[in-house]
């Protein structure tokens, strides 16, 4: 009998706590989106019934429908603040970013790969960011231009062979190999040659990185970090961790043994000193890992989405091709760095691609110091999570009329002037804006110009268009396979 009473008491107490917690946002005077006990607002996401981008969009539209500036949800039992007003978002990401410099992403020294620039926070992040930023200046990126051109031509040759052999081209795979080969050369000074070698080890591990189980994602959200570390949790499998550790160690040893000095990402890390100490092998490995993962899938996805929309909108494809030929005629047909910068319509096409298909559907932040939202009485307490709904903002007709349509003119000067700051966030904003933004844009633009200049892309009848999107390893991707009918020009 006593056991029954105890169990009943614990159950009642736990349910009462969940009910009290459910009213967290209501007690603070803002709208809390209806939640499920225990699971919060992510039950459909956990069981795979609704992709994360669709959940972000639904919540945004719910709050927008009530004409609200912000609202709240729960990630399991953790309150999460969702601002949808660009002015509030600007304060969080820019003006008052010092209160929100944490992304709230798991990292611990016991998990080497987790200690990367994306996950780090505090002084360690600040110092490392400052030291690595020089790698991504316009001048340094310009140096890589010729390498990008060579890899783009190799990519076009692979596509051309499929066309000549009258075979359907697996464009997603080709684009992934293009970005892998660029990263290998520009970051680490190696020729990975995945465009020629179908069994290339880098492409194999690159794909494995984004095959995270749903269970691992759930554990990250539910369990405290110290418990995860105690249990030996790793953000990646041991084979991936071992691969990057061994690869970086071999590259460093080879350079030192042969007195090789290259102006690339790896060399910058070898030269970097924080507090008069160089980066450890583990720290270099973590940064190499995040450079690889951040540059691999994001750029290939952007190219994939751009080609998809150009194939689905042939008049836009023709207009882009016309600009390419017009600009290149001034440079004797050579795709030099200055020519890419001169292509205004190309820039609009790429930005519209990133508007409709941002790399990630939402930006995570954690409040690191109590903060009062300007113009409201709401106090965001230290430790509260924040989710910036990028996908919702980008699909809002207030900022982008007919948002489901692909319209590069959303980014002409007149339309850009009408929009509020922080209504276009493909790379984030503020101190934690994507450090590799310029490099990523350049490899996407060079890849796109090279392909559109040589081929016409038409949607194959096997391709579902408009596409459905899903979340894969935190990135927005296409749910179904896509296929093109491609012909040479």
pLDDT tens, residue by residue, 399-425: 999 999 999 999 999 999 999 999 999
Taking CA 394 as the corner, what is the angle to CA 392 and CA 399, rounded to the nearest 5 degrees?
110
Report the alpha-carbon distance of residue 273 to residue 161 in Å, rounded.
47
Question: Which pLDDT score, from 0 to 100, does residue 43 have?
Answer: 56
Report the alpha-carbon distance of residue 155 to residue 195 in Å, rounded.
7
Question: Which pLDDT score, from 0 to 100, does residue 35 have?
Answer: 64
Is the confidence at residue 438, as pLDDT, over 70?
yes
Cβ-based burial of 486 (10 A; exposed 0-12, middle 13-18, buried ≥19): buried
Residue with more model confidence, 31 or 221:
31
Summarize pLDDT for 236-294 with one digit per residue, the tens: 888 999 999 999 999 999 998 999 888 788 888 888 766 667 788 999 999 999 998 88
Report the alpha-carbon distance of residue 279 to residue 273 in Å, rounded.
6
Q: Are 348 and 408 in contact (CB under 8 A)?
A: yes
Residues 163-192: what's their mean pLDDT?
A: 90
Query: Among 181, 396, 163, 456, which Cα is nearest to 299's?
Result: 181
Report the alpha-carbon distance of residue 352 to residue 114 in Å, rounded.
32
pTM exceeds 0.85, yes or no: yes
Q: Which residue blocks in 343-461 are alpha helix, DSSP H? A: 344-356, 390-394, 413-418, 437-454
Q: Are 406 and 313 in contact (CB under 8 A)?
A: yes
Question: Which pLDDT score, from 0 to 100, does residue 488 have?
Answer: 97
Residues 51-58: what's their mean pLDDT?
A: 90
Residues 28-49: what's their mean pLDDT?
A: 64
Residue 188 confidence class, pLDDT cut points 50, 70, 90: confident
Ramachandran quadrant class, 67 (left: phi over 0; alpha: psi -120 to 50; beta: rest): left
Beta strands 363-366; 475-478: pairing state: unpaired
Residue 191 confidence class, pLDDT cut points 50, 70, 90: confident
CATH of the domain at 430: 1.10.630.10
Question: Which pLDDT score, from 0 to 100, does residue 15 have?
Answer: 63
Report the alpha-carbon distance of residue 83 to residue 367 in Å, rounded.
13
Residue listed under structure tokens 């489901």: 404
Residue listed under structure tokens 């009998």: 1
Query: Among 405, 387, 386, 395, which Cα is nearest to 358's?
Result: 395
- CA distances in angstroms from 189 to 144, 265, 360, listed in the order given: 11, 9, 29
Residue with more model confidence, 462 or 325:
325
Give every CB contact of residue 8 below 8 A, 6+ residues apart in sequence: none
Strand partners, 80: 73, 385
Cβ-based burial of 256 (10 A; exposed 0-12, middle 13-18, buried ≥19): exposed
Report the alpha-carbon distance of residue 21 to residue 248 in Å, rounded.
46
Cβ-based burial of 3 (10 A; exposed 0-12, middle 13-18, buried ≥19): exposed
Q: Could you list the residue range(s) of the whole structural domain that residue 141 is in?
A: 2-488
Strand partners, 81: 72, 386
Strand partners, 67: none
Query: Among 40, 99, 115, 54, which Cα is nearest to 386's?
Result: 99
- The number of folded domains in the chain is 1
- CA distances in angstroms from 165 to 149, 158, 483, listed in the order given: 24, 11, 16
pLDDT > 70 in the chain, percent: 91
Question: Which pLDDT score, from 0 to 100, does residue 264 have?
Answer: 83
Is the confidence at residue 298, as pLDDT, over 80?
yes
Q: Are 473 and 209 in contact (CB under 8 A)?
A: yes
Is the confidence at residue 427, as pLDDT, over 90?
yes
Is the confidence at residue 455, as pLDDT, over 60?
yes
Residues 141-148: what's their mean pLDDT?
A: 92
What average pLDDT is seen over the chain? 89
Q: Does the annotation list 54 as a binding residue?
A: no
């Amino acid at each position: 009998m006593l056991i029954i009473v105890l169990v009943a008491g614990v159950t009642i107490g736990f349910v009462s706590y969940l009910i009290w917690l459910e009213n967290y946002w209501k007690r603070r005077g803002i709208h809390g989106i209806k939640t499920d006990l225990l699971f919060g607002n992510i039950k459909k996401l956990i069981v795979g019934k609704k992709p994360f981008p669709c959940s972000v969009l639904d919540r945004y539209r719910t709050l927008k429908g009530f004409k609200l500036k912000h609202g709240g949800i729960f990630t399991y039992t953790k309150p999460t603040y969702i601002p949808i007003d660009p002015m509030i978002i600007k304060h969080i990401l820019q003006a008052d970013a010092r209160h929100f410099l944490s992304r709230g992403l798991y990292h611990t020294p016991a998990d080497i790969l987790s200690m990367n620039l994306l996950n780090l926070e505090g002084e360690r992040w600040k110092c490392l960011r400052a030291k690595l930023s020089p790698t991504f200046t316009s001048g340094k990126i310009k140096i890589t231009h010729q390498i990008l051109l060579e890899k783009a031509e190799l990519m076009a040759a692979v596509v051309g062979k499929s066309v000549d052999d009258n075979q359907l081209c697996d464009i997603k795979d080709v684009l992934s190999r293009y970005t892998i080969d660029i990263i290998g050369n520009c970051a680490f000074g190696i020729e990975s040659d995945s465009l020629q070698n179908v069994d290339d080890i880098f492409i194999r591990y690159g794909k494995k990185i984004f095959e995270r189980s749903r269970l691992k994602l759930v554990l990250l959200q539910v369990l405290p970090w110290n418990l995860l570390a105690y249990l030996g949790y790793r953000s990646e499998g041991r084979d991936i961790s071992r691969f990057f550790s061994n690869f970086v160690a071999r590259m460093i040893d080879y350079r030192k043994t042969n007195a090789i000095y290259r102006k690339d990402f790896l060399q910058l890390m070898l030269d970097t000193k924080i507090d008069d100490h160089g980066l450890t092998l583990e720290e270099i490995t973590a940064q190499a890992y995040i450079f690889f993962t951040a540059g691999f899938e994001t750029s290939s996805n952007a190219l994939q989405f751009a080609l998809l929309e150009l194939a689905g909108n042939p008049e836009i494809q023709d207009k882009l091709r016309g600009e390419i030929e017009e600009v290149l005629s001034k440079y004797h047909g050579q795709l030099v760095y200055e020519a890419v910068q001169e292509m205004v319509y190309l820039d609009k096409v790429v930005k519209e691609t990133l508007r409709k298909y941002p790399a990630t559907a939402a930006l995570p932040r954690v409040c690191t110091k109590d903060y009062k939202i300007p113009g409201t009485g709401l106090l965001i307490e230290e430790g509260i999570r924040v989710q910036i709904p990028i996908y919702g903002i980008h699909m809002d007709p207030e900022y982008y009329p007919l948002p489901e349509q692909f319209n590069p003119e959303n980014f002409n000067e007149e339309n850009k002037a009408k929009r509020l700051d922080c209504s276009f966030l493909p790379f984030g904003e503020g101190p934690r804006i994507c450090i590799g933004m310029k490099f990523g844009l350049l490899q996407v633009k060079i890849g796109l110009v090279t392909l559109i200049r040589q081929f016409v892309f038409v949607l194959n009848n096997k391709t579902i268009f408009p596409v459905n999107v899903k979340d894969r390893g935190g990135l927005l991707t296409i749910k179904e396979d896509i296929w093109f009918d491609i012909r040479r020009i």
